[in-house]
Amino acid sequence: MPALIGATISIMIATPAMAHWDEAHGSGIPWTFDPWIVVPLAMLAALYGIGTVKLGWRSRRSLLIRALLYWGGILTLAGALISPLHWLGEHLFTFHMIEHEIVMAISAPLIVLARPVGILLWGLSGRTRHIAGSLMRSPLIRGTWDWCTSATNATIIHGVAIWAWHMPGLFDAALTNTALHRLQHLSFFATAILFWWAIVWRSDYGASAWYLFATMIHTGVLGALMALAPRVLYLAQTQAAKAWGLTPLEDQQLAGMIMWVPAGTIYAAAAMTMLALWIRGSSERRPQNA
């Protein structure tokens, strides 16, 4: 999994700063073809495709579900960062929040469930694959990955990224500076990968349910603060709202509601699933321990 995060780091490479809402767009709602986003996504798609072809003859059935999950994650990630949703997010806080929640609560868990690292490595040439594999097994990278994907650490790291980037000053700065905007998206995606990896693959079901509930609560509180604030907090993000038939405060309130309710529902559903699996596992072990 470190290879996946490393492959996305190029998203944050900066070009000269520009105000997104001042960019010249053609008529209609355009797609966003930022090479620092499109190229890494294309590379991840190509490597996975090549790796699947190389391994498909060995374990075709076991790869099918993982492939569907991975492509679901990549397509939703592309939809959030490249489709007209991204352009809309530059103009309305409401759509910007939808974009972020797709990245963190849909794309990231789908990719984590797919466990794509092995297949991505097989997409590389033989020598490159061995070098990459050796680096991933090195004590420094392995130890860093294990520390970052412990459930407590991953939950804190992800939570800090969410709260820090939603501080009004930093959020508005990211909207008007391309480098910060890429770093924001990378932070949300990378820390979400850490969080969901810890939840799905590193923790028992009971602990995973607790951490999911904790994340639901603190993101819900943040969403509620936005939705219930008596004044506009995000001045740059909401300044185009009137052109879309909303007041700046209404745009902020809708964005907060999206983080509070729909996104919270995803975390709650995942927590309930983990809780159900924990209860089922406990009931299956009970007769053996009796």
- Return the higher-pLDDT residue of 203 and 10: 203
- Return the higher-pLDDT residue of 287 and 70: 70
> Is residue 34 assigned to a domain?
yes
Beta carbons of 69 and 114 less than 8 angstroms apart: yes
DSSP 82: T
> How much is the CA Rg of the chain, to the nearest whole Å?
20
| Residue 19 clears pLDDT 60, i.e. is over it | no
The confidence score (pLDDT) of residue 18 equals 36
Per-residue tokens: 106: 């849909």
| Residue 12 clears pLDDT 50, i.e. is over it | no
H/E element, 12: none
The confidence score (pLDDT) of residue 32 equals 86
- Biggest CA–CA distance in the chain, Å, is 70
Q: Residue with structure tokens 């809402």?
A: 21
The confidence score (pLDDT) of residue 61 equals 67
Count of domains observed in the chain:
1
Sign of CA dihedral 36, 37, 38, 43: positive
The stretch 248-253 carries a mean pLDDT of: 97
Instruction: Write out pLDDT tens, residues 111-143.
Output: 999 999 999 999 998 899 999 999 999 999 999
- Report CA-CA distances (Å) from 32 to 89, 244, 255: 11, 20, 21
Instruction: Write out pLDDT tens, residues 186-199.
Output: 999 999 999 999 99
Domain span at 167: 2-14+24-289
The confidence score (pLDDT) of residue 9 equals 38
> Is residue 66 assigned to a domain?
yes
> Is residue 105 assigned to a domain?
yes
> Is residue 19 assigned to a domain?
no
| Residue 3 clears pLDDT 70, i.e. is over it | no
> Is residue 277 assigned to a domain?
yes
DSSP 178: H
> Is residue 169 assigned to a domain?
yes
Residue 4's pLDDT band (boundaries 50, 70, 90)? very low
Instruction: Write out pLDDT tens, residues 78-122.
Output: 999 999 999 999 899 999 999 999 999 999 999 999 999 999 999
Average pLDDT along the chain = 88
What is the reported pTM?
0.88
> Is residue 150 assigned to a domain?
yes
Residue 73 C-alpha from the chain's centroid = 9
> Is residue 64 assigned to a domain?
yes
